[in-house]
Structure 1
Amino acid sequence: MNRNSRSAVVRRLLLLVSGCLLLGLITGEYAWALVIGLAVHLGWTLRQSLRLHRWLQDHQPDEAPPDAYGLWGEVFDSIYHLQRRNERARGRLQAVIDRVQESTAALRDAVIMLDSQGNLEWWNQAAETLLGLKTPQDSGQAITNLVRDPRFVEYFERSQYQEPLELPSPMGGNRRLQFNITQYGNSEHLMLVRDITRLHQLEQMRKDFVANVSHELRTPLTVITGYLETLLDNVESVNPRWLRPLQQMQQQGGRMQSLLNDLLLLAKLEATDYPSDNQPVALEPLLQAIVADAQVLSGSHAHNLSLEAEPGLRIKGSESELRSALSNLVFNAVKYTPDDGDIHIRCWSDGEGVHVSVRDNGPGIEARHLPRLTERFYRVDSSRASHTGGTGLGLAIAKHVLMRHRGHLQVQSRPGHGSTFICHFAPAQIARRA
């Protein structure tokens, strides 16, 4: 209310009181005159309130407010202007929402909005094509009732969406889909589904090529290394000048065989999503055997290896694959830890699952290398890797083994403070204790 409005209200009240006093002077009843005046004013105020109430309830979108004067006229006008501003703002917001929905509907990727319980709220046309959703029958349905693959159900309920999930399309055929879920607002979900069939086919071609080439190279390499062993076994009949070249050839042949074996193992791991020989594996004796092998590998380097394992702990999976993954981590610690260094292996369980850690006090790894450690042939230090004779595939094998066992690998390291590699297995992988 501005100053002029306040002045007008004061003047009207003064006029009303003056009229009441004048009436009291004429009649001699000042009290009754004031009561009658105030009652008239109150009745007029109640009438304006009722008019405002009826207008707010029954008015049409463009209907003007009732005619009034004074303070109530300003109230009617202010409410009317406020409603018009709100309608314009609502129109702008609705236009933005319509544009967002139109642009989202035009995407080739499926966009699906879910509530906090995982029930469908909205989706675009691509979701109907890729997932077979139907409008409006599926509105309010749980997404796990429509995408029933057990891997998706586990992925959605676990609520760990850092990595996308790749699955065959529920519509059948050879289509391959990638699911990305993001939580926002009040634990609501935004799910993006991409058709990655072409990328999957290219990746499969690469895997097949590597597997076929590795398989085909094994036969000629076996012949070459066989003849080299024969020549070195009869070293007395060989010209001394050829002794060192033959030894180097045998050494490099051994490296090539190790490389081919690792490539074939990777191809085998990538061929299926879950181990075929899925049996309870006792971790304590498995780690004890790996530590014994690591002590032999350490030899004269005199590393201090220690094992702390929770007794009777077992997980479901393939013993040979788990041995390969865990031994790669332990053997890497032996290779890259200086002489007399400490290597500690620990195995324990808690509410988040089973964990196996390998900690050393070696040179450590810079932070910029950590995201790429599990890539094939990635070298933190090529000179150090060639000195240890590694193939560059050990951590890639460990990563794939853990993925097949519903786990993941965590790396903690700082230069000069050693490294810790932790294998995390989901609670669903725990088998009953021995």
Structure 2
Amino acid sequence: MIDKNVVIEKFTSIQDFINKEALSGILLFIATVAAVLVANSAWGQAYYDLWHMPLGITLGDKTISMTLTYWIDDGLMALFFLMVGLEIKREMVIGELSTVNKAAFPIVAAIGGMAIPALIYVALNPDNPLGFGVPMATDIAFALGILMLLGTKVNPALKLFLVAVAVVDDLGAVMVVATVYTAEIKAEYFLHAGVTYALIWALNYFGVKKLLPYLILGVFLWIFIHEIGIHATIAGVLLAFAIPISSKIDEERFLEKTKESIEEFEKHKDPTPVLNHHQIDALEGIAYGYDKVQNPLVRLEHNLHGLSAFFIMPLFAFSNAGVLIDFSTVNANLMIVLGVVFGLLIGKPIGVFGFTYLATKLKIVSKPDNISWYEIFAVGFLAGIGFTMSIFITHLAFLDESTISAVKLGVFAASFLAAIIGVVLILMSNKTKA
């Protein structure tokens, strides 16, 4: 049974989520443009040297050393994936994916939006299929940012639909990263990771609501998963699934104790300008209830959202989006680039629209009444904005720097065109309705 205050917090947080993602999309765009400008300027070499500077941490006789870029991609991005995991769990428990009727349509849309781009890429690159994950990704920050910039011209239901599709898309990306893009597996660390994760779930089982023990064990989980050879960001998602969603006390109990504390505070008012010990005790009672009534999952997601939207993702974009504008690399990797471009620009809208339309005709799912097929097609193009998630997977899928640079240019081009087409379709849809 889910507490009522969980549902209340969900409705208040979804709008905050959309607003932050929208502003984050603008910051990502600024960070990306800045990275490209710096990389192609006189400071280009200094930019490259900065992000490839080695940085290490020693714990006992064990040293973890990576470049600054890898610390961002493996370390800070683990916090981003922790937030993604929290969003996925929240949506599955109390959100747009919490019931079969609500979840079926966006799940089918997301599956189509992942499958068709991957198939297009593999069809064009049968001898080099590992990059299939690049056009599968959707950058929710950019996509929602564009919807928010259109303001009242956008059907509000489209925003919720896009969020639901992106959450399922993120889950698919997590599964691909965990199973496909792994280094050499060191099986001896599986036991360490397994025991650590069991301890995390034990905290959940015994009703521990404090976040600190989960986060401390999460750091060790990150270390062990990194040592296994699986991409360390998966530790963030695994930790998220173990964070409890129910609060320590329910809403009614909180209201009852808070009223008692307020009455106690008022009862002991005196003319002195300093609070007496009765009033201090009453305030501490209110603070105690405030801490206990909050849902650990929602609170952690709220705290991470700002950090992710306004620091981690812009920093990731600035450190990874800097690419030399050299179209000779595109010519040398033409089929790979075309696979990515066609996957994002053509595969995404065909997958999102085609799978949902076919599933609706076969009566597998039902289309929401407040969204038109025209709008679903437009969302399919917005889902083709791969950007930061596509760049993230690009660094996992390819090792050659010239190939990475070429793929990034393809991602930029496809994302830009997908955004333009999506906006035009939405505006045309509104004009048709009017």
Please indicate the TM-score interval, normalised by the length of the shorter structure: under 0.3
Q: Which has the higher contact order (CA 8 A, sep 6+)?
A: 2
Identify, as 1 or 2, the structure richer in strand. 1
- The structure number with the bigger radius of gyration is 1
Structure 2 length-normalised TM: 0.27
